[in-house]
Amino acid sequence: MKLIRKTSEPQQGTTEQGGNMLFKLLPYWPMFAILFAVAIGCSWVYLKMTAPLYEASARIMINEKKGADELKSDAPMQITAPKKTIDNEREMIMSNPILYKVVENLSLYAPVYTKTALSKEIAYQNSPVQIVAKDPKSIKSSDPVEFTFAQSAVTIDGKKYPLNTWVNTPYGALMFMMNTKNKNLHSNGNFFFSLIPEKKAVANLGSRIKVTEANKLSTILSVTLMDEDPARAEDILNDVLKVYNDAAIDEQNKLAANTMDFINKRLSGVQSELLAIESNLQDYRSVQGAVDVGTQGKLYLENVSNNDQKVGEINMQLSVLDQVERSVRSNDLSNGVVPSTVGVNDPGLTQMVKNIYELQLNAESLKKTTGENNPMYVSYIDQIDKIKPQIVQNLRNQRASLEASRKNLSSTTSNYSSALQTMPEKERKVVDISRQQQIKSNIYTFLLQKKEETALSYISNGSGSKVVNNAESSEFPVSPKRKMIYLAALFGAGIIGLGFVTAKEGMRRNIMFQSDIEKLTALPVIAEISTDKANRAIVMGGQQRTLIAEQFRSLRTTLRYLGVSTTNKRVMVTSAISGEGKSFVASNLAITLAMTGKKVALLDFDLNNPTLHRKFNIKQSVGITEYLQGSITAEEAIIPSGQNSNLSLLLTGSLPDDPSELILSSKTEALLNYLDEKFDYIVVDVPPVGPVSDAYTLAQYCDATLYVVRHAYTPKAFVERIDENIKLNNLPNPAIIFNAVAPRGFGKNNYGYGYGSGTVYGGAYDQKRISIDSGK
């Protein structure tokens, strides 16, 4: 009869795997406790050394202009400005010109710190002074510079520097100013500051500022910043928004100033021309006498005046077009001043001028920080090169249209001039001069009106945005997250511990766990035998209540599942190689069976390397060898064990020269048949199956096979070949004994490599004999 293991269900398999893993890890709990303690300690040190970060946020509303809203204007004068969109303004807030200004305003290139036991803390509010560089762009990196403040002076390396005065230091021209954030006017002590290149400070600030849309339906931008000091975070954000708004107003004022300059130049020219005409008219009348203009002349002046006014407007528009073309062709808008389109009513031209102006500004800003090889810079230049021909073509079309209109008006004026020839000469001359005077007067009046409008724009110019919420910082730090740091550290410690255990116990080539056996062979493991610290050969006896004794009693019970009984009584004990403890198992199993009152015979059929006589402390005399050779009878080979009256031994006797051939004799079967009549159980200790084949020879005479596998000793390769060997040699009812299972882990108490709990009924296992109270 063979014992067949049942295949576990998937869910049961998963549960067993989890149990196996827990079983492997549990003995190493001291190591895990140490790892977790170290992880918590390292996390604590990390949190002490890492400056906490606070998050400040502010909101600004952008008056966004899109499409038709930008081009909708009835006024002949339009002050060109870049279009405002959410995406553009988001980039503008984070642009380098804005950040450079903020870094200089708040002296972020010279932070002041105080020292703590494990780290440094920003002293933005506690420092007695603020450090300002005369030329921030020339700052070079420096190591922390320690200074003290006392008696309204800063001392560095023993040298005192006064406040509010530019002083030359080894670190450049600096000014030490009272820190208005510090409410304690008598802050003394040791501080230190670091000098950071302005470019690096700007890059650092830009990496920490985030600008996002509040939601998709609004034009409100949320600006956030992470910083070590909540007050500094608020000041930085508020200054960013202030500089952004100021920059937008300055840009509007520059555009208005450009328009004003153009108008003033035109006014100066028209004024000179008007004065000259008025002087000419006055001189003519004084020489020729007072000459009045008749009804026909007044009608002529009225009609021609309208034509001349239109021609004047056309000439002005042509002049603007010439200025725009010169500016576009000059390829230079880097000064931030865009050509005015006053008087030009074509929204397409105005929009293209806006676009090229905006692209040029972005390209110049990018060029200053990244260089000409930056892909974004190259993209801006490509777009500018594509828009320029469109503007030039538009200017040509505009000019052609205006010149055609001017030609038509000139033709109409020519007809009126023909009518003028019919007037008297003096009256005709007065009308001609009056006509010129009226033309220039209308132009002068128009320009004065536009000048006033432009002047008013200085007052009305705004940034086009509104701060909704000023900066406010979080009450508690948002980084590092203490709970996450501790959890991550504990998780990492667990992974390290798991890796250590897996590497230690998984890389061994010998059998370490009962699960290793189950993976390599289909044979059932019917018993675990713990290692005996006292290294005793016989661990069984009537007074023994140790774990190992209970394990042999459990093995005795399990034998019936292999079909072992008083009828099928022959049990063969073998192993793969020498040293796995087969003789130890055979001896103590035989004693365990004898303790039940049954007659038991223990045979030492290891004719190559017998050991039973040493375990029972009996001197070799005659035995199985002599019986098989015919020198003695079976009865003469049987001797008492000295351990139990029900246990008899058949030792090897002398070592034969041909043990394998001797076992093949018919007397082997005869001996076993004889013992069947005398004993209830027969335990046969045979040689290992690896070195010799004697075990396979004797297998045909036995009813069950116990295959001993020793913990941390038996190579996995031998266990892997068990199934194949059984098929080839037909071992009867085989099962495995997992022997010498040692405690494991760091405590090495109660934890083994098998599945045993490490306890016996009535008390904890300590491998010591427990006296049994006879009264119980």
The predicted model gives 502-510 an average pLDDT of 79
The predicted pLDDT at position 774 comes to 31
The predicted pLDDT at position 79 comes to 47
Residue 143 has pLDDT above 90, yes or no: no
Question: Lowest-confidence range among 1-10, 130-139, 506-515, 639-648?
Answer: 1-10
Q: What H or E segment, with its residue span, contains residue 650?
A: strand 647-650
The predicted pLDDT at position 457 comes to 66
The predicted model gives 571-582 an average pLDDT of 94
pLDDT: which is higher, 110 or 267: 110
Tell me the pLDDT tens digit for each residue of 30-45.
889 999 999 999 999 9
SS3 590: helix
Are 51 and 119 in contact, with CB atoms under 8 Å apart?
Answer: yes
Per-residue confidence at 448, pLDDT binned at 50, 70, 90?
Answer: confident
Are 235 and 423 in contact, with CB atoms under 8 Å apart?
Answer: no
Q: Name the token pair of 71.
A: 């081009």
Per-residue confidence at 593, pLDDT binned at 50, 70, 90?
Answer: very high
Q: Identify residue 182 by its one-letter amino acid code.
A: N
Tell me the pLDDT tens digit for each residue of 292-333.
545 555 666 667 667 777 777 788 778 777 877 777 777 655
pLDDT: which is higher, 564 or 507: 564
Residue in the structure block whose two tokens are 């001392």: 155
Residue 5 has pLDDT above 70, yes or no: no
Q: What is the DSSP string of 107-147?
A: TTTS-EEEE-SSSEEE-TTT-SEEEEESSGGG------EEE
Q: Within 13 Å, how many C-alpha atoms sit on residue 642's CB side?
A: 10
Per-residue confidence at 417, pLDDT binned at 50, 70, 90?
Answer: low
Which residues face 169 on adjacent strands? 172
pLDDT: which is higher, 506 or 449: 449
Which residues face 132 on adjacent strands? 175
pLDDT: which is higher, 389 or 339: 389
Q: Name the token pair of 154.
A: 């800063």
Per-residue confidence at 3, pLDDT binned at 50, 70, 90?
Answer: very low
Q: Name the token pair of 675.
A: 């013992």
pTM assigned to the model: 0.56
Cis peptide before 480, with omega less than 30 degrees from 0?
A: yes
SS3 534: coil
Are 571 and 559 in contact, with CB atoms under 8 Å apart?
Answer: yes
Question: Cα(292)–Cα(270) distance, rounded to whole angstroms?
Answer: 26
Question: Cα(564)–Cα(572) distance, rounded to whole angstroms?
Answer: 11
Question: Cα(49)–Cα(673) distance, rounded to whole angstroms?
Answer: 83
Pairing of strands 734-741, 525-530: parallel
Give Cα 541 distance to the centre of its chain: 64
| Distances 651 to 614, 616, 634, 641, 755 between C-alpha atoms, Å | 10, 10, 12, 10, 35
- Supply the Cα-derived Rg of the chain in whole angstroms: 53
Question: Cα(103)–Cα(127) distance, rounded to whole angstroms?
Answer: 18
Question: Cα(587)–Cα(558) distance, rounded to whole angstroms?
Answer: 17
Distant-in-sequence, close-in-space partners of 683: CB < 8 Å, separation ≥ 6: 571, 573, 586, 589, 590, 593, 600, 601, 602, 603
Nearest to 133 by CA among 173, 193, 105, 178: 173
Residue 185 has pLDDT above 90, yes or no: no
Question: Cα(726)–Cα(572) distance, rounded to whole angstroms?
Answer: 14
Nearest to 253 by CA among 40, 524, 475, 459: 459
Residue 108 has pLDDT above 80, yes or no: yes
Residue 402 has pLDDT above 90, yes or no: no
Q: If you average pLDDT over each of 76-90, 208-222, 266-280, 601-615, which comes out highest?
A: 601-615
Nearest to 586 by CA among 664, 702, 760: 702
Question: Cα(575)–Cα(611) distance, rounded to whole angstroms?
Answer: 14
Q: What is the DSSP string of 664-702?
A: TSTHHHHHHHHHHHH-SEEEEE---TTT-SHHHHHHTT-
The predicted pLDDT at position 339 comes to 59
Question: Cα(756)–Cα(138) distance, rounded to whole angstroms?
Answer: 75
The one-character DSSP state at 50 is S
Tell me the pLDDT tens digit for each residue of 264-288.
888 888 888 878 877 877 777 666 6
Are 652 and 625 in contact, with CB atoms under 8 Å apart?
Answer: yes
Q: Identify residue 476 by its one-letter amino acid code.
A: F
Residue in the structure block whose two tokens are 């470019």: 199
The predicted model gives 401-416 an average pLDDT of 77
Q: Within 13 Å, how many C-alpha atoms sit on residue 289's CB side?
A: 1
- Torsions phi, psi for 226 (to 5 deg): -100, 130
pLDDT: which is higher, 259 or 371: 259
The predicted pLDDT at position 254 comes to 77
pLDDT: which is higher, 59 or 763: 59
Residue 68 has pLDDT above 70, yes or no: no
- Residue 535 CB neighbour total at 10 angstroms: 6
Tell me the pLDDT tens digit for each residue of 602-616.
999 999 999 999 999
Q: What is the DSSP string of 172-219?
A: EEEEEEE-TT---TT--SEEEE----HHHHHHHHHHHEEEEES-TTS-
Residue 483 has pLDDT above 80, yes or no: yes
Question: Cα(494)–Cα(328) distance, rounded to whole angstroms?
Answer: 68
The predicted model gives 4-15 an average pLDDT of 49
pLDDT: which is higher, 552 or 431: 552
SS3 392: helix
Question: Cα(309)–Cα(473) distance, rounded to whole angstroms?
Answer: 62
Per-residue confidence at 80, pLDDT binned at 50, 70, 90?
Answer: very low
Question: Cα(196)–Cα(110) distance, rounded to whole angstroms?
Answer: 6
The predicted pLDDT at position 613 comes to 93
- Residue 427 CB neighbour total at 10 angstroms: 16
Residue 757 has pLDDT above 50, yes or no: no
What value does the mean pLDDT of the chain take? 81
The predicted pLDDT at position 708 comes to 96
pLDDT: which is higher, 567 or 83: 567
Are 461 and 256 in contact, with CB atoms under 8 Å apart?
Answer: yes
Q: By percentage, how much of the chain surpasses pLDDT 90?
A: 37
Residue 766 has pLDDT above 50, yes or no: no
Tell me the pLDDT tens digit for each residue of 675-716.
999 999 999 999 999 888 899 999 999 999 999 999 989 999
Q: Identify residue 81 by its one-letter amino acid code.
A: A
Question: Lowest-confidence range among 24-38, 193-207, 265-279, 658-672?
Answer: 265-279
The predicted pLDDT at position 90 comes to 86
Distant-in-sequence, close-in-space partners of 534: CB < 8 Å, separation ≥ 6: 767
The predicted pLDDT at position 637 comes to 95
SS3 707: strand
Q: What H or E segment, with its residue span, contains residue 653?
A: none
Which residues face 210 on adjacent strands? 224
Tell me the pLDDT tens digit for each residue of 723-751.
888 888 888 999 999 999 987 655 545 45
